[in-house]
Chain A
Amino acid sequence: MASAETGSDTLEIAGRTLRSRLLLGTGGFPSLELLAGAIRASGSELVTVALRRIELPAPGEANERGSLLDVLEREGVELLPNTAGCFTARDAVLTAQLAREAFGTDLVKLEVIGDEDTLLPDAPELLRAAEQLVDDGFVVLPYTTDDPVLARRLVDVGCAAVMPLGAPIGSGMGIRNPYNIALIREAVTVPVVLDAGVGTASDAALAMELGCDAVMVASAVSRAQDPIAMARAMRAAVEAGRLAYGAGRIPRRTYATASSPRRGIADFFASD
């Protein structure tokens, strides 16, 4: 921790050593140019991609593929494929296997969603999928609820990290239950990556102050009015929060504690 100041405070996750503790989602950017700019501004080294049907070209046109992958390769980031949109363990496992085939990576951000409106994880399906993927040799980073017990169960089946939500995906509601996030940090020994809910930089800083090892942001950056400026803000927030966590905050008190000494206070007027 003390080494945070020297810049050698790296994140060990899934056998990788990352200098940045900020993971970036690629969804929602209005253009690939803005995505590239945000990646650079964020300093992120690990970015998520989704797996979707290839779009068929119009007759007579060549198939324009790979432009997203080209951008990510040019920026020198590692891909973290997700299983977004999967509602069952079966779909998520197959999607992860296809991502491994497409991108040649054993990393997967496992998402198994239980509800269209909240996009909250389906805990039993998530745990089932995690177990199968670990058995199949994947490095599994599950998107999970802010439940310390479920986080522990996910680690028990072999997940390399846990990614608890601060609030529903894309809601920008921040960290609704900071106590649970802190409990998750205590409950597991693998990296804890706060995922979903971050709306602005202070949310990312809070996650780090609670002891999270990293923060993942997507919409908060890509849908900001100035995504590149927000990416820079998130980077600074994650660094600030990490330093503050290591520095150790003062305890909260109800009453004031003077920071100037009482001794030697002048007595200007004669009291009667």
Chain B
Amino acid sequence: MIYLNGDPHEHGAGCTVAWVLESLRLPAEPRGVAVAVDGEVVPRAEWGAFAIPDGARVEVLTAMQGG
């Protein structure tokens, strides 16, 4: 189980950031997207290899109108 943008999601063994983004039907190189896992930035270059631990809070963020 992981918390993806606040909602519980099933979590397979070896689940990576790239896998999570794919499950959101995002392209492999989405523009204007950033990811934090448990309060730390996961740089784009590490998305493919970064294994998300069970119970992690994953935030996938993008630009919204504001300010």
A interface residues, Cβ below 8 angstroms from B: 25-29, 35, 48-54, 56-57, 61-63, 65-66, 68-69, 79-82, 84, 90, 94, 97-99, 101-103, 109, 111, 218
Contact = CB atoms under 8 A, between A and B. Distances in A.
B7 to A, nearest CB: 8
B36 A49 contact: no
Interface in B11-35: 24-26, 30-35
B41 A54 contact: no
Given A54-B5, A63-B25, A63-B26, A98 B34 contact: yes
Contacts, number: 106
Contacts of A81: 63
Contacts of A54: 5, 24, 26, 33, 60-62
A209 B44 CA distance: 45
A68 B64 CA distance: 7
A50 B64 contact: yes
A25 B63 CA distance: 13
A28 B35 CA distance: 25
Contact of A101 (B6, B24, B41): B41
Chain A CB count within 10 A is highest, among B25, B33, B62, for: B62
Contacts of A62: 25
A109 B67 contact: yes
